[in-house]
Amino acid sequence: MSDPNRGFFARTALIATAALILSPLGVLAQSAAAPPASSNQSTTSVSKDRWLHVRVISSDAKGETVRVNVPLELAEKVLPAINKNRLHDGKVKIDDAHVNDVDLRALVEAIRTTKDGEFVTVQSNDCDVRVAKQSNHLIVHVLDKQNSKKSEVEVKVPMKVIDALFSAGKDELDLVAALHALSAQGDTELVSVKDHENTVRVWLDSKNVTD
């Protein structure tokens, strides 16, 4: 090989080596810049996924706040993988579908087939209790007035979710089916608890962040 060619190849090889060694820096720079962009994208977007949110705000001295955001699809996929104690394949075993001698299945069937209305209304000096079926939702409302610091609990469950929960075989609650039914529901508040110290909210929407 002639001297000019040898020099040319040597320079080319050195430049190529330098380029190869420096190229990861470019990749690192790109990867360092990339996450915020994707982060913004995910936090601002409202996806078609359904999210279950839990928020607990405590107004005591420590001022604790808990926020949990779970995609229902994730819960649906993960639950069947858990096989522990009474939980198998996304279903929970219950003893003879009887709790304190109450036939839950019969009770649910009765509620399902009955028209909208109030099933239980208790009003006393200590507390008010209301159990009703309204717009295909089972509503339980409890107002505790026992002491000066009132507490209020409201649970609102779509009937379709309750149906799905009891859709498994006898003595089983189908959690996955219930979650699936829940994901078909619109934005809704499921549980609300308020007392003098804590506020608890469980709700469903399409956002991947809490308010």
Residues that bind other proteins (CB under 8 A): 1, 6-7, 9-11, 13-14, 16-18, 20-21, 23-24, 27, 31, 34-35, 38-39, 41-43, 58, 61-71, 73-74, 77-78, 80-84, 208-209
Nearest-approach distance from CB 133 to other proteins, in angstroms: 34
- Where do the DSSP E strands lie in the chain? 51-58, 65-71, 87-88, 91-93, 98-99, 102-103, 117-123, 127-134, 137-144, 151-158, 172-174, 188-194, 198-205
Name the residue nearer to other proteins (CB basis): 78 or 102: 78
Nearest-approach distance from CB 203 to other proteins, in angstroms: 16
Nearest-approach distance from CB 87 to other proteins, in angstroms: 11
Nearest-approach distance from CB 198 to other proteins, in angstroms: 13
Name the residue nearer to other proteins (CB basis): 78 or 122: 78
Name the residue nearer to other proteins (CB basis): 5 or 124: 5
For residues 149 and 68, the answer to whether their CB atoms sit within 8 Å is no
Name the residue nearer to other proteins (CB basis): 55 or 112: 55
The DSSP code sequence of 120-180 is EEEE-SSEEEEEEEETTEEEEEEEE-SSSS-EEEEEEEEHHHHHHHT-SSTTEEEHHHHHH
